[in-house]
């Protein structure tokens, strides 16, 4: 599926209804060539803007999961410091512990609730516009702390009232392969690949 075909699919009124399509778990993957990361970033904003025009009037949220993780660490207190500052202070002294801590925090209930609260704020503030989709990107940057498969499994209970479109820089054969190099875990069975058959 090309990025143009993706836009055309997202612009379909029937597909915009979160009750259509994959009823058990309304999350979809768009896989793309990692070498086109910058181009896809631009296309995501282009799709968001085109879907906001009067013929669709959708208020799409684009959520960069890496940036949200950094924001979460920046505002979460850890003693007299923030979690981010604590990790930065310990990065050179205890790199293994810092990496393990970041992995735990990125998959924590607290971070998932933080992401959900951002989405719920967006839904409340959408005004008269419909919110059919939440776009999630940044899986290349947040690796290895949070894998797309782990995010999907941990966030499943929150996805209600919209469809989530995840942008994944890689490919899939038996398993997902981030950057076409690193094996990701097998994604939740209900995920439907939107670069194959819808």
Mean pLDDT of 36-59: 88
CB 42 within 8 A of CB 115: no
Residue 27 lies in a domain: yes
Neighbouring CB atoms inside 10 A of 123's CB total 15
Residue 96 lies in a domain: no
Number of structural domains (the chain) is 1
* H-run or E-run covering 62: strand 61-64
Residue 141 lies in a domain: yes
Residue 129 lies in a domain: yes
Residue 150 lies in a domain: yes
Structure tokens at 95: 């790199």
pLDDT beyond 60 at 189: no
Longest dimension (CA), the chain: 55
Pairing of strands 81-82, 77-78: antiparallel
Q: What digits encode the pLDDT tens for the residues 16-41? A: 887 776 556 788 888 888 888 899 99
pLDDT beyond 80 at 183: no
Rounded to two decimals, what is the model's pTM?
Answer: 0.86
pLDDT beyond 90 at 170: no
Residue 125 lies in a domain: yes
Q: What digits encode the pLDDT tens for the residues 59-114? A: 899 999 999 999 999 999 999 999 999 999 999 999 999 999 999 999 999 999 99
CB 184 within 8 A of CB 42: no
Mean of the per-residue pLDDT values for the chain?
84
**DSSP type of residue 36:** G
- Domain containing 115 equals 3-64+109-193
CB 142 within 8 A of CB 106: yes
What's the confidence (pLDDT) of residue 102? 96
Residue 39 lies in a domain: yes
């Amino acid at each position: 599926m090309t990025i143009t075909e993706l836009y055309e699919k997202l612009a379909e009124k029937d597909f915009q209804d979160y009750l259509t399509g994959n009823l058990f778990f309304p999350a979809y993957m768009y896989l793309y060539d990692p070498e086109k990361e910058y181009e896809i970033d631009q296309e995501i904003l282009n799709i968001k803007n085109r879907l906001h025009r009067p013929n669709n009037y959708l208020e799409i949220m684009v959520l960069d999961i890496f940036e949200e993780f950094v924001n979460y660490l920046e505002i979460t207190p850890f003693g007299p410091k923030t979690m981010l500052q604590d990790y930065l202070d310990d990065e050179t002294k205890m790199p293994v512990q810092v990496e393990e801590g970041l992995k735990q925090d990125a998959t924590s209930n607290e971070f998932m609730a933080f992401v959900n609260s951002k989405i719920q704020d967006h839904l409340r503030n959408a005004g008269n516009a419909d919110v059919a989709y939440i776009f999630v990107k940044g899986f290349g940057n947040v690796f290895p702390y949070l894998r797309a498969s782990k995010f999907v499994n941990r966030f499943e209970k929150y996805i209600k009232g919209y469809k989530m479109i995840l942008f994944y820089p890689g490919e899939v054969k038996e398993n997902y392969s981030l950057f076409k190099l690193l094996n990701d875990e097998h994604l939740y069975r209900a995920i439907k690949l939107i670069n194959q058959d819808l």
